[in-house]
Structure 1
C-alpha cells in the first residue's frame, strides 16, 4: 500500500498527540470509498483483522500511530538512570535530560497522573505520555504500584509488549500485530448464525478452517472477496431485505416456496440441486 508508508513517516517524525477526531474522519473517508457511500454491512474492525484471522488486512491508522509511539517507548524503557547513553539516539538523550526529578521509564510505569512540572521543559514528552495513556485505555492495562507482586502477575503484559527490539525494521509491524490482536473482535456470531441456519454444529476447529480457507481457496482476488462475503454473511438475502424493506418478499427468488435465507439461496434451494450434484 502506497499510502501507509507516508503516514508512518509522519507518525514517527512528528511526535505529537493526534486528536481522535482525525482518525475518525480518516476512517470515514476510507469507509465511504469501500462501500461506495452506502451503509457498511460489517464493522470495520473485521476488515482490519489480518488475513489469517478472516479479515482483509485493511490498515488501521490509529493502531499504526500507537505502534509508532510504542517503538519510541521501547527506547524509553531502556533509558535507566546511570547507564551510558552515548550510543543511543540524540533525541533520546535530550528527552532524558529534560525529564526533571524522574526518568523516562518511571513516567511510563507511574500509576497516577504526573504533574507537568516533572517534564514541562519538553512538550514532546508530554504529548508522548498522552499517547501512552491512549495505549493503556486500549489494552485496559492495570496500574502498577510499589507493592505489586512480581511473580504470576498479569500486569506485566506491558513488559512483553515493549520487549521488542526497537531498532529492528519490523518493530512497528510487531507492535501493530499486538495491538490488532487486542482490539480485533471475534467472529463467533457469524459461526452461530450459520449453525442455526444449517442446523449443524460447527466446531471451533472447523470454523477456523473456514476462516483460513477464505484466502486459500483461490488466488483470484475477486473469488477471495466472494468467500469473505459468504463467511461473514454480507450478501443481502431476500429474508434480510424483507427485514429492511417490508414490501420486499422474503421468499427465495428461484423457487418462490421457501424463505430466502443465505443457506437456502446458496445450498438448499431445489433449483440448485442439479448444479451441486454435478460437482
Structure 2
C-alpha cells in the first residue's frame, strides 16, 4: 500500500510531482536563498529564462481577457460560511456587470469568487502559486495558470485587473492590498478602485492608518481616498462601475482638449 507521503501531490509550475519527488523548498525560496553552496550562481541564467517563460505564458493566456476585477481573501474561509457566500455573491455580481473575475485560484474566498463568476455567466480566472503545502486550483476556474514565482503572479494581477476587491484574509491578502495601494499611490499604475469588504474586519486597520500613520506624516490625507470600505455587494460593484465611468469621462475630456488645441494650432 502507498504511504501517506506517496499520495501527496505537488504542483511546480506546469509540472506535477508526488512522493519523494516533491522538493523540500519552493522555487522562490531557492531563488532568494543566499545561504549555502555558491553553485546556484551558475544556474541563474536558466532561472531568468524560466522567469521569462512564466511572463510569456501569463501574457499570452490573459492578453484577450477583457476588463477584469481581482478578488482577494483568505484561503481558510470555510465553504458555506457567511464570508464565503459573500464572496460568491460579489463574484456573481461582477460577472453580471461584464467583468471577468481573477483570483489566486485556491480555496476559500478565491474559490467563492470563481464560483460566483461562473454562476453569473462570466469568465473565471485562477492564478495559482507553488507553495510548500498543497493548494490545487479550485473547480470553478475557466482559465487557470500556476506560477513558480510570486512576483510574476503579482504582475498578472495588476496588469489584467481594473479593480481590486479585498475580503477578510491573512498575510497574503494584506500583501496584495498594500502592494495595490502603493502602486496606485505612486502612480506606477493607472488609478483604479480598491474596495475593502468587511467593515468589522478592516475597520480597525483603517482607524490605525487615520489615527497613527496620517498624523505621523507617513501618508497624505488624499491617500485615504484610495480605498473604499463597505459590506454591501451591490455597492462593491457600483463603486467600480462609477470609477470606470469617471475615468472614461476624464479621458474623453482630455481628448477633446487636445483636439481643440490641435485645431487652434493648425
Instruction: State the TM-score bracket (shorter-chain normalisation).
Output: under 0.3
Q: TM-score, normalised by structure 1?
A: 0.25
Q: TM-score, normalised by structure 2?
A: 0.26
The structure having more radius of gyration, on CA atoms, is 1
Higher helix share: 1
